[in-house]
Amino acid sequence: MDLEIKRPIVTKDHEAMIHNHWAIVCRGTAVFQKEKHLTPTKFFAKTFYATLFKIAPGSRPMFRSSMTVQGKALTGLVAVMATVMKADNVVETCQDLARMHARFGATKAHYSSVGTALLETLEIVSGPEWSAEIRSAYLTSYCLLYYLMLPVILETPRRPIQTSLPGHIARKDALGANTVRLLIVLDFPLRYHPGDSILLGVPLPTGEVRRSYVITSLHSPGASTFEICVQAIGEASKWLCAASLDAAVNVYWINPGVHFETDTFTSIPHRLLFISHGISVAPFFAMIKGLYAIKSQYEGDVAALQCYEGPPIAYFQRPFEGDWANCHIVTAAKFTVTGALDLTPDLAQRHLYISGPVEFVQEATRHFIEAGGAESNIVVYSFDNTPFIEEAASAQQMMITL
């Protein structure tokens, strides 16, 4: 976007228009779908980052934490745009932000890309509520904030953007046959939700291979470590299982996907059923652990059926220490409707989260629907690495050409 308004003047009408329009977006417009987007602000954040990374793939490494966590800062930007003339210390605030962004590698061009993505996103999420006048109000306000930042943008040395960050294995625990838990340390405080996965670069003899792994630890503010559980199946996973302590890996970013936002738990269903196959239990282990951490607030009922072709992994059967009367976890050699009904007689009323091989997912899904479960209440946790690998390759290519 060419920030074409060279002398932006934000009027009271502009502020009122942005304030009223943003309130409509936050309530949900005609294009918002609750079952797909959960909340209007999540719809906005997800659309924004998808748009930004399409416009400027090289900006992806600047956003390593969960998109929904960072989305809260994004909604704060819109709030500032709606009150820019009334805000206290707006110049100081904007210039402090510019200094912070420079530490992440932001350039003048990035601010243009963000402006373009912001306007395109607002148009998408607005549906019939969008107009040329509303666009002009947002553009004017964004340009004003940009010009307040510009002296700092031009004068502050920026830190070069790194496509990935160096991490190393600090602890390794055997969980079962060919399965380990790894603690990885890096010099960056990642923020993520229970169920999130992370893209790692594994240094194989033939070159780096990028793979995603579910984070099985819970986020702790300021912490620069995370845990993953790995089974020696593919070449990257075999390398991780065999790696010695202090072995180096490249850490990219948190992937978008299925997770529970336990800090805003009201959107989490109250009758949950997790069905998993083998190591694919990992995201549900983290999600149950996250629910246990808020059990004094979350009043739901949780059931989990963990299917293993070999011996069950005991670690995954105890996501938490202590008692929780509303959580029941059982294991089985294979999925059966009888086993599911024994665990949850109210099967048809449950929200099903399922993960595993395609055939396993298809069979369990079919039986759930035949038992009266709603297809709209089924969430499949995907382990497809392809989109995340392509995103990293695109970002790296842009870094090379810059």
Tokens of 274: 């997790």
Give the pLDDT confidence of 151-206 residue by residue, as tens digits.
Answer: 999 999 888 888 999 999 999 999 998 999 999 999 999 999 999 999 999 999 99
**Distance separating alpha carbons of residues 249 and 231, to the nearest angstrom:** 17
> What is the dihedral angle through the alpha carbons of 163, 165, 166, 172, rounded to the nearest 10 degrees?
-120
| Number of Cβ atoms within 10 Å of the Cβ of 152 | 17
How far is residue 363's CA from residue 378's CA, in Å, rounded to a whole number? Answer: 13
Per-residue confidence (pLDDT) for residue 313, from 0 to 100: 96
Phi, psi of 133 (to 5 degrees): -65, -40
In this structure, are 18 and 132 located in the same domain? yes
Q: Which pLDDT score, from 0 to 100, does residue 401 have?
A: 40
**212 shares its domain with 304:** no
* 134 shares its domain with 200: no
Same domain for 353 and 271? Answer: yes
Among candidate residues 277, 288, 306, 315, the one with its CA nearest the CA of residue 173: 315
Clarify whether residues 269 and 287 are in a common domain: yes
Is there a domain that residue 315 lies in?
A: yes
Tell me what pLDDT residue 10 has. 86
| Domain count for the chain | 3
Instruction: Please check whether residue 317 lies inside any domain of the structure.
Output: yes
Is the domain of 311 the same as that of 204? no
Residue 397 lies in a domain: no
Residues 297 and 240 in one domain: no
**pTM (predicted TM-score):** 0.87
Q: What is the CATH number of the domain that holds 170?
A: 2.40.30.10
Same domain, 248 and 322: no
**CATH, residue 327:** 3.40.50.80
User: What pLDDT score was predicted for residue 400?
Assistant: 41
Closest CA to 267 of 68, 19, 30, 65: 68
Per DSSP, the three-state class of 358 is: helix
Do 115 and 238 lie in one domain? The reply is no
Q: Quote the pLDDT of residue 266.
A: 84
Whether 233 and 277 share a structural domain: no
Report the CATH number that the domain containing residue 50 is assigned in CATH.
Answer: 1.10.490.10
What number of CA atoms fall less than 13 Å from residue 396's CA on the CB side? 14
CA 169, CA 180: separation in Å to the nearest integer?
A: 12
In a domain, 1, yes or no: no
CA torsion sign for 261, 263, 266, 270 is: positive
Pairwise CA distance, residues 339 & 363, whole Å: 14
- Is residue 220 included in any domain, yes or no? yes
Residues 237 and 282 in one domain: no
**Residue 143 to residue 139: CA distance in whole angstroms:** 6
d(CA 392, CA 390): 5
Shortest CA distance to 18 belongs to which of 82, 86, 109?
A: 82
Q: Which of 129, 155, 181 is the last residue of a domain?
A: 155
Indicate the residue type of 329: I
Residue 13 tokens read as 């009408």
- Whether 129 is covered by a domain: the verdict is yes
* DSSP result, 187-210: SS-----TT-EEEEEEEETTEEEE
The Cβ-side half-sphere exposure at 146, using a 13 Å CA radius, reads: 26
Residues 395 and 60 sit within 8 Å (Cβ to Cβ): yes
Domain that holds residue 222: 165-257+386-392
Judge whether 398 lies within some domain: no
Domain match, 131 and 170 both: no
Per-residue pLDDT tens digits of the chain, which is 402 residues long: 566 677 888 889 999 999 999 999 999 999 998 877 778 988 999 999 999 999 999 899 999 999 888 887 788 778 777 777 676 778 888 898 899 888 888 989 999 999 999 999 999 999 999 999 999 999 999 999 899 999 999 999 888 888 999 999 999 999 998 999 999 999 999 999 999 999 999 999 999 999 999 999 999 988 899 999 999 999 999 999 999 999 999 999 999 889 999 987 888 999 999 999 999 999 999 999 999 999 999 999 999 999 999 999 999 999 999 899 999 999 999 999 999 999 999 999 999 999 999 999 999 999 999 999 999 999 999 877 665 555 555 555 544 444
> Final residue of a domain: which of 97, 120, 155?
155
Model confidence pLDDT, tens digit, residues 68-123: 888 877 887 787 777 776 767 788 888 988 998 888 889 899 999 999 999 999 99
Residue 398 is predicted with a pLDDT of: 47
- 32, part of any domain: yes
What pLDDT shows up at residue 3? Answer: 67
Q: Which of 287, 275, 304, 277 is nearest to 367 (CA)?
A: 275
Residues 6+ positions from 336 with CB-CB distance below 8 Å? none
179: tokens are 């399965």
